[in-house]
Chains A and B, each alone.
Chain A
Amino acid sequence: MQTSLKRLARYAGGLALLASLGALSGPAQALTAYITNEKGNSISVIDLDKLEVTRTVKTGQRPRGIALTKDDALMFVCLGDDDTIAVIDTKTLKEVGELPSGPDPEQLRLSPDGKLVFVANENDALLTAIDVATRKVVSEFPVGVEPEGVAVSPDGSIVVNTSETTSMAHLIDWKNKKSVANILVPPRPRYAEYTKDGSELWVSSEVGGTISVIDPVKHVITHTITFEVPGLAKELIQPVGIRFSADGKLGFVALGPANRVAVIDQATKKVIKYLLVGQRVWQLELTPEGKYLLSTNGVSNDVSVIDVAALKVIKSIPVGSFPWGVAISKQ
């Protein structure tokens, strides 16, 4: 049994090799993006070769945060109004189970090794870790009021949670279950993201209108990035999702009702460009090699596709009602 499984695995590996060889000569294998539609209670599946929606599947109520397992076999979708996280098979797009999230889950994040999924439990001001294999809660840690954004350092040692009403980034040494630092940031911190090399932690403050760049070793804010769009009221600049380009040199920030994605030079922290996308831009995701950046635009019901090399919006793809989250498969 063992041997045959191994053989099967090798066989599958060979197939994968063939497929990747094929990719070198022929057209690239299609990548897939999964978009959660907050109001539509659905997921739009986008073929990233054609840049169009190929399928729309129904979900439970108010899907927002979405993440794929390391092998892309499953996706986890936060269903805020169902108080659960759905586990969906990416092949069949059928729900195959759920994760115990606690009430109103919104965002989630996988550990770099893919074994744990972290989710904020808002009602109890706790950060919860769920084991991906057993789908059970394995540990909890107290954080601030209305915990939301979760990030994990590239080495997996530090878990960061932002709490919206407390306005802090909580840095937790997860292995030793020890609070490392609680850093005050401008109001309503919504999202946190480490730079590729782990040397900086970026936290977006939706109400404060800023990005706080945190030194994760010294636990201090080293830069505060602000945004200014000519002709646009300051109050409309509400940063949410953050991503870094594949080479780590560019930071991208979704600016909410400012309808723009800011492009920031990671080294100098200067805004290079504002890319006009759809309305109420929430979250961002890059394709695995970093060619495209996708943004979910809640109010205009579409996804903008940004060519990262050219820093240009090349297409907007109509999706379901109020798109919020985005995840992209690695194959």
Chain B
Amino acid sequence: MFATVVPPAASDPLAVKVGVIHETHSRETISILDIPPVDDFIAGARMAMDDNNTTGRFLDQSFSVVDAKLAPGEDPLAPLKEMLADGVRFFIVDLPAAEVLAVADAARSSGALIFNAGAPDDRLREEDCRANVIHTAPTRSMLTDGLAQYLIWKQWRRWLLVVGSHQEDQLLAEAYRQSAKKFGAKIVNERVYQDTGGGRRSDSGSVQVQRQMPVFTQNAPDYDVLVAADENEVFAGYLPYRTWDPRPVVGSAGLRPVSWDPSHELWGAAQLQSRFQRLFKRGMNARDNQAWEAMRLIGDAVAHTKSADPKTIHDDILSPGFALGAFKGQALTVRDWNQQLRQPILLTDGRGTVSVSPQEGFLHQTSQLDTLGFDRPETKCKLH
């Protein structure tokens, strides 16, 4: 039908290949609704690829994705080396922090640019930052600051902090402690929930859970809100409606700080969600969105510069005029001191966006978004 339509072509066709290296996430989730889909993460990159290709049609640019899906613990350097040998110079990764560093260091001599769209670890943006890594995933400190601002706004200043027994939970708990200090909340009591193993879902599991959770949360000093730090889905999902005292649950369950949620529809996000739904027959989750953002950063920079050179793309993304539209109410830009994507944090109950931080009244001299996470004066990152 549109055979006669020939868009005015740019000088040379440009083909951009992007490697996506990602480890699958555990299927042990408290809710059946949260089991990672088979195309978790990669679906976000693929949709952004489509978006980039639609723009590319007018500029004679094309984008493709090379998918390397790894089992937990599988070595990401093998697919990395293969793709580097194939000439791939852009990588979007969802890997544990140590693997992100391994990939970044192994790719360094090739000049390739890595997008961390999975790991929330603050250390990757602070003491262990790398000059060839841009982060679209928000850090733990950005997430906890986003939630803390809202709790302060609600005047829920007394927190009962419940922490899981995994190392990630400890890091998350530390982020909550920092946020409490930063914004003036008080952690009135801290408890550790030990992961003793075992399946999350069993036939009559609810019977036990109904008895365990009240007991676990009883005898707490007076508190306003229970903050759960549980990145491995061990207990947080069991807390809402089951605490000894009738208190809201926030953090890893209840009201959760996230980069994205399938229920988010503000600021035109409904358009993105409906496109995603049409393509993948499911809602877009936070990991998909972080991969989408990384691929869109590449796409916009290639469109601006008409180049596929990683250094040129890197410079463009960090240039003062660069801004990514990502359906979060304002332009997203990259912090030049540690290459973290500035972004609002959505507070979701899984049914809709309850609020979006930064909250009104938390002010900053340059960008209100920099009230979330470690700010420039505090940074330990030295890019070189």
Q: Does A104 contact B (CB under 8 A)?
A: yes
Find out whether the CB atom of B300 lies under 8 angstroms from the CB atom of A187: yes
Q: Which of B29-37, B52-60, B166-174, B185-193 contacts A (4 or more CB under 8 A)?
A: B52-60
Q: How far is the CA of A178 from the CA of B8 in the complex (A)?
A: 10
Does B55 contact A238, Cβ atoms closer than 8 Å?
no
B324 interface residue per 8 A CB criterion: yes
Residue of B nearest to A208 (CB): B323
Contact of B325 among A184, A188, A233, A236 (CB under 8 A): A188
B81 at the binding interface (Cβ < 8 Å):
no
Distance of A299 Cα from B300 Cα, bound (Å)? 31
Q: A181 to B282: give the CA distance in the assembly, Å.
A: 36
Q: Report the separation of the CA atoms of residues A124 and B300 in the bound assembly, to the nearest whole angstrom.
A: 21
Other-chain residue from A103, A142, A235 in contact with B330 (beta carbon distance below 8 A): A235
Smallest beta-carbon distance A85→chain B, Å: 17
Contacts of A180 in B (CB 8 A): 8
14 residue pairs of the A-B complex, CB under 8 angstroms, read A104-B271, A123-B275, A125-B54, A146-B268, A146-B271, A164-B325, A165-B325, A167-B55, A167-B300, A182-B58, A187-B323, A187-B325, A208-B331, A209-B323
Give the residue among A104, A145, A180, A234 with the most B Cβ atoms within 10 A.
A145
* Contacting pair A145 B51 (CB below 8 A): yes
> Within the complex, which residue of B304, B324, B331 is in contact with A235, where a contact is CB–CB below 8 Å?
B331
Report whether B5 and A104 are in contact in the complex, using a CB–CB cutoff of 8 Å.
no
Across-interface contacts of A103 in B (CB, < 8 A): 274
Q: Is the CB of A144 within 8 A of B275?
A: no
Nearest opposing residue in chain A for B368, CB measure: A233
Cβ-based interface call for B367 (8 A) = yes
Contact B54 A145 (CB under 8 A): yes
Q: Is B278 part of the binding interface, using a Cβ–Cβ cutoff of 8 Å?
A: yes
A184 near B5 with CB under 8 A, answer: no
Residues on B with beta carbons closer than 8 Å to the beta carbon of A104: 270-271, 274
Q: How far is the CA of A144 from the CA of B299 in the complex (A)?
A: 13
Interface membership of B7, Cβ < 8 A: yes
Which residues of chain B have C-beta atoms less than 8 A from A184's C-beta?
59, 303-304
Q: How far is the CB of B63 from chain A (nearest CB, A)?
A: 13
Q: Does chain B have a CB within 8 A of A56?
A: no
Would you call B59 and A182 a contact (CB within 8 A)?
yes
Residues of A in contact, count (CB < 8 Å):
37
Chain A residues with CB below 8 A from B7, complex form: 179, 182
A180 vs B324: C-alpha distance in the bound complex, in angstroms? 26
Is A227's beta carbon under 8 Å from chain B?
no
Chain A 85-100 residues near chain B, CB threshold 8 A? none
**Inter-chain contacts of A165 with B (CB < 8 A):** 51, 54-55, 296, 325
Residue pair A238, B330 in contact (C-beta under 8 Å)? yes
B204 CB-CB contact with A under 8 Å: no
Q: Does A186 contact B (CB under 8 A)?
A: yes
Among B2, B274, B331, B367, the one with the most A-chain Cβ atoms within 10 Å of its Cβ is B331
Residues of B near A48 (CB, < 8 A) are none
Q: In the complex, are the beta carbons of B331 and A209 less than 8 A apart?
A: yes
Decide yes or no whether A223 CB sits under 8 A from chain B. Answer: no
How far is it, in angstroms, between the C-alpha of A260 and the C-alpha of B51 when the chains are bound? 32
Pair B59/A122 contact, Cβ less than 8 Å: no
CB atoms of B55 and A141 under 8 A apart: no
A204 to chain B, nearest CB (A): 13
Is there a chain A Cβ closer than 8 Å to B38's Cβ? no
In the assembly, what is the distance between CA of A209 and CA of B325, in Å? 11
Within 8 Å CB of B54, what residues of A? 125, 144-145, 163, 165-166
**Is residue B6 within 8 Å, beta carbon to beta carbon, of the partner chain?**
yes
Distance A182 CA – B10 CA, assembled complex (angstroms): 10
Interface string of B263-305 (1 = CB under 8 A from A): 0000010110011001000000000000000001000100110
B4:A207 contact, CB within 8 angstroms: no
- Sample of 19 further A-B pairs with CB below 8 A, known A104-B274, A207-B325, A209-B331: A122-B271, A140-B1, A164-B325, A167-B55, A167-B303, A167-B325, A168-B58, A182-B7, A184-B304, A186-B323, A187-B300, A187-B323, A206-B325, A207-B323, A207-B324, A208-B323, A208-B331, A235-B331, A235-B369
